[in-house]
Structures are given as structure tokens and as C-alpha cells.
Amino acid sequence: MKWNAQRYEKQHDFVFKYGEGLLTLLPQTAHTVLDVGCGTGDLTDQIRQKGFDVLGIDQSAIMVDEAKRLYPNTKFQHQDILTATSSATYDVVFSNAVFHWINDQDRLLDQIHNLLNPGGYLICEFGGHNNVAAICNAFGQELEYLGINYQNPFFFPETTSYKQLLIEHGFQVLDITDYDRPTVLHDGIDGLANWIKQFFQADLARLNEQQQATVLKNMTVKLQDQLWREDHWEADYRRLRVVARV
């Protein structure tokens, strides 16, 4: 996945804005925080402003460079959580809208467990079961019409199964909740196409320009009744929120 940091800030800022609610869950007894998948650093900087010693990491060097430019007083590093090696440990591992990009959840949770101090917290939110189901299903159908096998790249777990996975990796689950969160997409009629170009870019790259244009046009027509609201698209987001402890 290649990210355009400026486009992300402008067109997909709902990602970190909706994540601001997670900040209220940070325990005041904590001191050190690791923000996994910090993106352009907006939430990381807010954590710093709340008085925590925070480090933001992201596997995208482009995102980290933009975060450093926007928030020079906040610490950021270019790191992939799955391969990160550090002697530092933290009171909280925090993450917003990231875990659904990671299919190797066993490795992810082992890494997080190792990075937490005894009694430390995992506080995260990401896509839950049936997140953006209408969009994913429509996109898969369009690729199938073109004779292309589509595999949903996201990890959108059910609440019960993810709770069990956390327990198996040594976490005490304090709270786990899934909920619908309809999400307004920016840029009016172009909002859906812009979202697809960002989040399905790897699959779109398999198509020529004409095929891409056809897919985007067909999806706009197909999803109009479900997701169009007078002057904007409203994506069918469903989230999973976790507070757990080691």
C-alpha cells in the first residue's frame, strides 16, 4: 500500500477524527505510550499534549515524514510493528484504524504483549465484522465481472473470536465492543471513488485505465441507493473497540 500523505490528511481525515474518542480511554496512571500505525501523527500529537511520553510508529516512511513535518515536537519513527525490535517497553500500546490491515494477528499480538510493561494496556479500534461490507461486496463483484478473482485484503473479525484470540495471547479483556459507525466521505459525488482509489489501490493497479473507470462508474451506480445521502456518500463502517491488559 502506497500512501499519499497530503491526500490522506485532506480526504480521509475522518480516520483520525473518529479516533479521538479513544483518547479518553488512556489511563491517567500511564506514562509511556506507543502509537502503532500513527499515520500523519494527529492522534500521536494529541496524546503528547495530554502529558504522555509517546512515540508514533508507522510502516510508511511517507506518513512518518509528514508526521514529523506537521508535529516537530512529537516523536516518530519509521517502523513496522510486526518486525520492530526494541528494548523499550510501554504502559500503553494505542492504535486506531490499523489492525484490520494486518492479517498475521498472532504475530501482532505477541509483539504487543512483549512491548507492554506488566499491567500495561492495549487500547485500539479497527474494522469489525461486516465493516464496509456493501463496498467490499460491490468491488468484488466488479472484479469478478472482469474475470479477476478478488480476495478481501482486510481482517474484520467478529467480537467473540477476537476476544478469544486476545485471551490466547495472554491478555485480560476489560472491554470489547462492536458498533455501527456510518461515515461521511468527503468530496460529494466523487467521495466514493476517492475512497476506493485509496483503500483498494492494490487491486485497482491490476486493471488498465478503462477498466478502472468502468469499475468506479458501476460502483457509483450500484451503491447509490444504499450509501448516497442527498449530497454525500455515507460508508457502512462497523468498528471493533478493545481495552485489554497484560
Nearest alpha-carbon partner for 12 in 44, 42, 45, 50? 42
The CATH superfamily label for domain 5-245 reads Vaccinia Virus protein VP39 (3.40.50.150)
| CA distance linking residue 129 with residue 156, whole number of Å | 5
Percent helix, strand, coil in the chain (nearest 5)?
45, 25, 30
Give 160's contacts (C-beta < 8 A, 6+ positions apart): none
Distance CA 172, CA 195 (A): 35
pLDDT of residue 21: 86
Query: Do the beta carbons of residue 120 and residue 92 sit within 8 Å?
Result: yes
pLDDT of residue 151: 87
Q: Measure the CA–CA gap between 168 and 181, rounded to whole angstroms.
A: 28
pLDDT in tens, the chain (246 residues): 554 545 544 544 445 556 678 999 999 999 999 999 999 999 999 999 999 999 999 999 999 999 999 999 999 999 999 998 888 999 999 999 999 999 999 999 999 999 999 999 999 999 999 999 999 999 999 999 999 988 888 999 999 999 999 999 999 999 999 999 999 999 999 999 999 998 999 899 999 999 999 999 999 999 999 999 999 999 999 999 999 999
H or E segment and range at residue 214 = helix 209-222
For 219, half-sphere exposure in the C-beta direction (CA atoms, 13 angstrom radius) is 29
The structure's pTM equals 0.90
- Assess contact for 37 and 17: CB atoms under 8 A: no
DSSP code, position 2: -
Cell of 174: 476489560
All three cell numbers of 162, joined, read 477476537
> Would you state the pLDDT for residue 12?
41
